[in-house]
Structures are given as structure tokens and as C-alpha cells.
Chain A
């Protein structure tokens, strides 16, 4: 087994398995910590600029990646016309830049206030580093290896599916540029970090809020209790 066989053929599975098992474990045993630790209460203004740009940027980029992963043909079909390709690429690039600016603002914020240092754990620092690398390599890829939306569907997506279908095809990614390779491996590492960091808050989207009634009442047991009256 070569080094790249290990990195692209074995390492992803290690990350995925640990992520699934540990996330479930944390949800079952430690619901208390199953969220991000909001620091808005300690610092409000810088957070606005950092958090909004970061979250909307990264959500857009992530959605694009997922669409490409599940329906790669849709991306290829869209990109048939050059104008549409330009639109998609520009949009993706802007969203990527938003995420990059956002994460940089958040990192600066994190370390510029003594109050925030108190609520910053070591895992937060690791997570910031990994996220920064991920977004940076993504943006660099967009700059130096153009039309990524098309070749993502051609190379990376088949590779990802080969992982899902338990027949990892390392050849598909073996010859990609180093930046892209780092981007892929770092993505798996992020997945591995998911259950061990505040990143679990991704999985606690309160979507139920939309249809639940405003007021919540909890009864221990509610039945008729007839008394002497």
C-alpha cells in the first residue's frame, strides 16, 4: 500500500466511522454539550461581521458541494453554456471569499478580547485552524484551477462515490494538484473533528420551531382527578 493509497483509501473510512460513532455517542450521553458555545453575550459587534459572512458563505459553498455530489449531472448540464458556467463560478468564488473573510474576522475576534479567551477551548483553536485551511485551499483552488465546478463533478465526485460504495478509487484523485488533495483530506479530517468540537451545532438546526405551537406545556400525567367536591 502506498502512502496515497492509505491517505485516500483508508484515512477517509477512519474519519467517517469515528465521526458517526462518536457523534451518536455524544448525542446519547452528553446532550448538554450538543451545541456551539455562543460568545455573543461577551462580544457582540465583531461577531456580527464575522459570523454572518462566515455562515452564509460557508452554507452556500457547502450546498453547492452537496448538489454536485448528489446530482453531478445537474452541474455539468448547467455548465454547458459558458455564460452559465461563469455565473456559477463567480457565485461560488464570492461565497468562498465570504467564508474566508468571515473565518479570518472570527479568528481575529477570538484572540483580540480577553473575555473571549476565557471561553475558547483548545479544540476551538484546532477547529479554527482546520477550517481556515479548508476555506483557504478551496479559494486557492478556485483561483488557480479554474472551472472547478465542472471538474469537481468529473473527478472528485466519482471518487467520493467510490468511497461511499466501498470500492475506493484512489487513481481518480492521485494526480490532482496538491492544494486540491489537501482540501479533500482536510475535509475528511473536519468530519472526524465534528463530534469532538463545537461543530456538532451543525446538527442541531431547530427546524421544528417552524411548526411547533408557540407555547410549550409539559404535563407529568394529565387525567381526570375526581375529588370530594
Chain B
């Protein structure tokens, strides 16, 4: 056992209202520079939909992630020798057209146009070339467009569905969608790190944040292809790739990342978890149906004295262990078993977990009346508008039982609270549900509180990042100028010059 700490995340999809505040907060801080206009380190997608970049989940096209090779696994897009052979032209690199061409508007025309009979207009101009352009794609172009022929129909997750199931989803009465906010998963087995010929990408040992050293990056762009979530982006202006840094300068000063902090629906939870780093290869190479369970098994119990002792030996600070004991992520993932990784079949062991949406309102129209199926609440999951198969394709490598388990728990909590507050449900029925899902009334209450009423401190349990331990190593001279040490950055402008 080798214990390491990982800052980990949980997104509660039932709470996401799709407002894109997270995306905008991130953009304003990190990606408003030249060459990064098209990047959305945080983006929100409508599901079913094609997402950003278009159809990113289709790894037959993008070749992201890992695939089994022999007893272990190998990257789909490259390996040690193919990497060097393909260095002059990378065969599976997405181009800007797979994302969208960024634009602005020529606002000056609104003021400078000569007087005339027509209103002046602000024409869209490309942020790359500066020329006039027609806008035909954007970062959330499929927003709320479930049911559309162009976007929703091309969702790669529909591969698991039969034709009639697909058809049903496009009937106007059955239209359904939910939102999927995405950031870098800060994986335990990151494809981007493994693919980088220069070794520019790395995982921070202390907190597991995956970063990209811009001074080592030599513009080979393999990380862009190898990341199955397409969360490494190429800056065409500086010739360097860039990615979500989990706002580590904010974390180091005790603040949650900007997207977490600004989340209107309060769907985001952040906390540290301890995991066994020796299991990485074994878990990543496991058969598809075991991936979710094994990844959960890797996450260690921070209350276990054995784990604590080993953690201290492996250099995890005790304050971090303490923080792990309070981690909301640990609760959602391990104690309650409510969270699942996004596309575990990519085998990168993502450390951002999702609580799948309990979709939709559990009702159906019967003889013109709206009915809720009260006889059998679990049965109503099968009548859900979004087939379980679809959710399973996203969150459990196709294993419906895993998603069902989570949804049954969510439903049980809902019924438990309803019985308590509204008192219109048979208590025996609720007890049966609790028994089946393995939840206790105390757990239900706790889940309810952390879901519906969490405070800022409940949602973000930020471990101390202990920069004081490395201050000497980073600064050398403790009296040096502020910008010369600490969170890094560039002393000069990050420009190419020549």
C-alpha cells in the first residue's frame, strides 16, 4: 500500500440548472488570452447532445484514453515508438473546427458607421484571423437542444440503445435532458501525462492536481489527443497546450476553484481523498464491468488506523488526513455510494465523480390525468423517460445495475423525506426502500442535508496545501520578490517572440 492524497470532486447533476456561471467564471480568470479564446476548461453540456468538442465521447474518432493491451493497457493514440514516428504529423489531432472558431463582434461599427437609412450592425469577426465570419458553431451550441436532429441524435452514448428506444426519445412528449458540467478530472492514470513526449505534464504528488509545465512543453500535442475528455487544449498562438489547473493558486490560499465558488445550483463538492497508488495499474487494466467497483476500492478509509499510519509514512500531512475524514467526496462516493465516474471505460481513473440525475419527474399521463406511480416507486425508474441504458453508458461502462443502485438510493432519500414532511406515503413502503438500498434514516437525513442544505464549508473541505513546507525550496531566498516564488507563473510574458 502506498497512500497518496488527491483533491477530488463530486458534481450533483440533479442540482445543475445549466446556467454556465461556472464556465464564465473560469473563462474570465484563465482563458481570456489570445489563443485560448476557444478553450473552455469548464464547460456545461446538454445531454443527450454532442458536447464540446463535437462528439468528444466517440473514441473511434478521437482515440482518447486507454485500451487493454496484453495484460496491461496502452494509450489508444500513441505509444513509445508510434509517438516518435508520428511526431511530424499527429494523425488524430482534433482541429479548431471540431471545437469552434472563436469570434467577437465589430462593435465599433455601431458608432463609426456613417448616418444612413438602416441601423448599423456589429458583424461577427473571427478572433483568429480578424476577418468577417459566419458563426455556425459555439461551445454550447447544443444547449437545451435535446430532441434535435443535428445535436441530440448524434450523441455517441446512443450506441447502446435500440432504434425504438432512440425514436422514443425524440417524441415531443418524451423529450428529456439534463446538464453535464465538465472540468479536467485530474485522473489517477491520466492519458495526457502518459502521452507527452517531452514529459511536460505531471501530477502533483501532494494533491494530485494535473498540471502542464509550459516551459517543458514542446508543442507535440499528444495530450490533446490522448485525453479522452478533451480537457487538454492547444494554444495556437503560443504553441503550448493548456488545461484546467483546478485553480491551484486559489486552493493554496484556502479558496475553492472559481467554478466551484461561483456555482449557482451549489452542485459542486470538493474534498481530499486518500488512495492506494500501488493499485493504479491493476485497476486501470481491470475488465470493464469491474472498473467502477475497483476504483472505489482504491479510495481508502481515512479513519482506518492502518491507512493513517501508512499515509504518514508516505508523507501525507496529518492535517490532510484530517481533511480527508471530513471530505464530502468521500461521503458521496464511499459511505453512501451515490457518485460514479464519467466514462470509466476510458480507463484514466477520473477523480471527478457525478451523482447521476434522477430523471425525470416520475409521472405519466393516464386518460388525460397526470399520475404518479405510487404502488411501486422503484418500478417507476423503468418508466423514466431517459433509459437507464443511456445513463449506464455514461457513468458505469454500460452496467445498468450500478446506475440503478444509485438512483434507487436517491429515490429512497426523497421518499423518506416526503414521508417525514408531507406524510402522504406509507411508512412501510419507505422502510422497504431503505432496507433494499441499505440506507438508514440517519444516512438519509445526512444525504438530505448535504444535498439540499449544505453550507460553503460543507461543500468545500479544502485541505491545507502546506506551501510553507516548500517555501525554501521554491524561493531559496525567503526575502525574494513575491512574483519570483510561490505559485509560479512567468517572469516574462509567455510569448514566443521569434
Contact = CB atoms under 8 A, between A and B. Distances in A.
A227 interface: yes
Given A115-B128, A196-B498, A214-B193, A40 B90 contact: yes
B221 A216 contact: no
Contacts of B196: 209, 216
Contacts of A66: none
Contact of A201 (B93, B203, B218, B321): B218
B463 interface: no
Contacts of B203: 215-218
Contacts of A210: 80-81, 84
A42 B190 contact: no
A39 interface: yes
B239 interface: yes
Contacts of A36: 219, 239
Interface string A197-229: 110010010111110101111111111111111
A35 B205 contact: no
- Of A34, A40, A210, the most chain B CB neighbours within 10 A belong to A40
B497 A218 contact: no
Contact of B88 (A52, A196, A220): A52
Interface stretch (B145-153, B311-319, B370-378, B390-398): B311-319
A40 B92 CA distance: 11
A215 B348 CA distance: 11
A36 B239 CA distance: 8
B315 A32 contact: no
Tell me what chain A mostly uses at the interface: helix, strand, loop, or mixed: loop
A48 interface: yes
B313 A41 contact: no
Nearest to B308: A229
Contacts of B218: 34-35, 201, 204, 206
B89 A52 contact: yes
A40 B93 contact: yes
A209 B93 contact: no
Contacts of B308: 229
B197 to A, nearest CB: 3
Chain B contact patch, size range: 35 or more
Contact of B470 (A207, A221, A229): A221
A11 to B, nearest CB: 22
Contact of A229 (B88, B318, B496): B318
A217 B202 contact: yes
Interface stretch (A82-90, A93-101, A116-124, A151-159): A116-124
A124 B94 CA distance: 24
Contacts of B313: 224
A36 B220 CA distance: 9
Interface in B460-476: 469-470, 473-474
A44 B93 contact: yes
B236 A39 contact: yes
B421 interface: no
Given A51-B89, A218-B203, A33 B496 contact: yes
A216 B205 contact: no
A37 B199 contact: no
A219 B4 CA distance: 11
A209 B204 contact: no
A89 to B, nearest CB: 26
Nearest to A113: B129
Given A119-B236, A215-B189, A224-B314, 5 more contacts: A41-B93, A206-B199, A216-B203, A218-B203, A226-B312
**Closest 4 A/B residue pairs (Cβ):** A227-B318, A206-B197, A219-B205, A220-B470
Interface of B: 80-81, 83-84, 87-90, 93-96, 128-131, 189-190, 193-194, 196-199, 201-206, 214-221, 224, 234, 236-240, 280, 305, 308-309, 312-319, 321, 469-470, 473-474, 490, 492, 494-498
14 contacts: A35-B239, A37-B219, A47-B89, A51-B89, A52-B89, A114-B131, A119-B237, A206-B197, A209-B199, A210-B80, A215-B190, A216-B196, A222-B314, A229-B309
Interface of A: 30-44, 47-48, 51-52, 54-56, 114-115, 117-119, 121, 123, 196-198, 201, 204, 206-210, 212, 214-229
